[in-house]
Amino acid sequence: MQQTEYLELLRLALKAEKAYYDDDNPIMEDGTYDAIIKNLKEFEQDNPTLKMPNSPTDRVGGHASNSFEKVTFPVRMLSLKNAFTDEELENFMGATKENNLGYIVQPKLDGLTLVLWYADGFLIKAATRGNGSVGEDVTLSAARVAGIPLEIPCTDAFLVRGEVVMHKDAFNELNKLRESQGKPLYANARNVAAGSVRQKDPAGMNDRHLNFYAYDVPSGLQFITEVEMLGFLVEQGFTTPRTYSINDQEYMVSQLIDRVHTIKRQEDQLPYAIDGAVVKTLSRGSCRVQLGEGTHDPNWAVAFKFTPVSAITKLLSVIWQTGRTGRMTPVAVLDPVELCGSVVERASLHNMEYIQELNLHIGDMVSVYKAAEIIPQIDCVVESMNGDNIIVPSLCPDCGAELTIDGPTLICTNEECVAKLKAELRYFVSRQNMDIQGIGPAVIDELVASGRIHSPADLYKMEPKDFLTPGLIAEAKANSIAGEIWKSKQLPFHRVL
């Protein structure tokens, strides 16, 4: 991976992090986000001097918004490191077997994490996880969630951590009601749960039928094993996720891996949505103290993320996109298909060689997947329909210049190519570079088409009036863009490079 690719991944990760944790409106699948974080970590390990200080790889995502009172946790509410293969799961077990009696395995609930404070037998506060150190006070909403007892037998002061979810049947009923009312349908239950808990008026919770599942006591009480801790939670009136203990020393690895995959197979039978399985050391106390924790996640637990499934669809056509260096990338245009909760209409084909390896033709039925990739990929041809060959252009589709061949790659060498200029401008104003807000693709298209700009340097010669465009850029936006350009002049020179 090159540094430019790293910076682009970083931008996507930060954007996805804000959408997920702060806006309760995810813009990508968890598997896609996990793949981005994994690639960021690999680059940063190989290039520690190039690691950006705002990288999300060593912190818990999200931060408290300004809408609720801030709550500071007495201990950090960490996230979990991810595993994607059986080998990674075995490596985790190999690193955690000392002084450990075994492991527990639970479904990884896909909801909103809450931290509850109890003292003198009563619920006194509830907060979202936020950035792991500071969350948002949502006590009034939490009091209306099924599974969160307001009064418990234990009078000690301690914290409970768990997940608020909306069961699948409740989510389906809610969407049926919205459909009958002519309202847009909700995308998934996780968004509904998160958005409901963070409403300013808790009365809006009444028709949401949310449930809380407790899975940890992170502070206030000490337990020898995870099973003991979960038993205590049940005694207090909490519901805990379905939990499996693995403590047969002779067959521990095979049993644990089998249990993780069993959870995957039985996913449809669970009442709530999940996105993986959580594996923790059975032993708590001194075992976990010895294993320790990092800035982002503990060393005594791991989340095994389920690999997204593929989908089969039809290849309608192939278009060629020009990048800022003139490199042409073939993109498959697909019959729209749902994959991992989102609709996929395009997929990367990389280069001419990749197309030849797939023996791809227009009209073929193809398998599309998103595992460990940001952009959907075509895995293979499922059924050849003996359609037309994919035409490799000899001229740039944007400027008409002749294309040169560099190995499996086509390149437009025309320095005046409009598509190259637009791509260069998009890259230049992006967040990881000059971070000029307000200049999106539509603005760039207009500035280039009208001849007002021929290079990124032209941006710094323009006055607010030069941006004015009827129906697109009014005076207020023009002034805002000019202000953003002025701010970009204060950035360090390495950002310009």
pLDDT tens-place string over residues 280-304:
999 999 999 999 988 789 999 999 9
Task: Look up residue 225 and give its two tokens.
Answer: 């094993």
pLDDT tens-place string over residues 438-467:
998 899 999 999 999 999 999 999 999 999
Average pLDDT over residues 423-449: 90
Range name among 241-245, 273-277, 326-330, 491-495 with the lowest pLDDT average: 491-495
CA 24 to each of CA 21, 185, 188, 205, 406: distance values in angstroms, whole numbers, following the listed order: 6, 15, 11, 16, 44
pLDDT tens-place string over residues 328-342:
989 999 998 877 556
What percent of the chain lies above the pLDDT cut of 70? Answer: 91
pLDDT tens-place string over residues 16-51:
777 766 665 667 766 677 778 888 888 888 888 888
pLDDT tops 50 at residue 248 = yes
What percent of the chain lies above the pLDDT cut of 90? Answer: 51
Average pLDDT over residues 85-104: 92
Q: Cα separation of 273 and 279, whole Å?
A: 18
Torsion angles phi and psi, residue 360, rounded to 5: -90, 140
The band of 372, judged by pLDDT with boundaries at 50, 70 and 90, is very low
pLDDT tops 70 at residue 415 = yes
pLDDT tops 90 at residue 368 = no
Q: Cα separation of 428 and 444, whole Å?
A: 11
CB atoms within 10 A of CB 291: 18
pLDDT for 31 equals 65
Q: Which residues are catalytic?
A: 108
The band of 127, judged by pLDDT with boundaries at 50, 70 and 90, is very high
Q: Which domains does the chain have, with CATH numbers?
A: 3-58 (1.10.287.610), 77-305 (3.30.470.30), 311-412 (2.40.50.140), 418-496 (1.10.150.20)
Name residue 310's beta-bridge partners. Answer: none
Average pLDDT over residues 163-172: 91
Q: Cα separation of 98 and 64, whole Å?
A: 37
The band of 206, judged by pLDDT with boundaries at 50, 70 and 90, is low
pLDDT tens-place string over residues 129-164:
988 889 999 988 888 899 999 999 999 999 999 999
pLDDT tops 60 at residue 374 = no
pLDDT for 189 equals 84
Average pLDDT over residues 273-286: 93
Q: Cα separation of 283 and 224, whole Å?
A: 6
The band of 103, judged by pLDDT with boundaries at 50, 70 and 90, is very high
The listed range with the strongest mean pLDDT (229-243, 326-340, 421-435) is 229-243
Q: Which residue from 337, 410, 342, 326 is spatially nearest to 378, judged by alpha carbons? A: 337
CA 222 to each of CA 76, 154, 238, 243, 477: distance values in angstroms, whole numbers, following the listed order: 16, 14, 18, 20, 57
Identify whether the C-beta of residue 126 lies closer than 8 Å to the C-beta of residue 142.
yes
Q: Cα separation of 67 and 130, whole Å?
A: 12
pLDDT tops 50 at residue 373 = no
Task: Look up residue 1 and give its two tokens.
Answer: 């991976």
CA 382 to each of CA 313, 331, 346, 364, 385: distance values in angstroms, whole numbers, following the listed order: 9, 18, 17, 8, 10
Name residue 367's beta-bridge partners. Answer: 312, 380
Q: Average pLDDT, whole number, for the chain?
A: 87
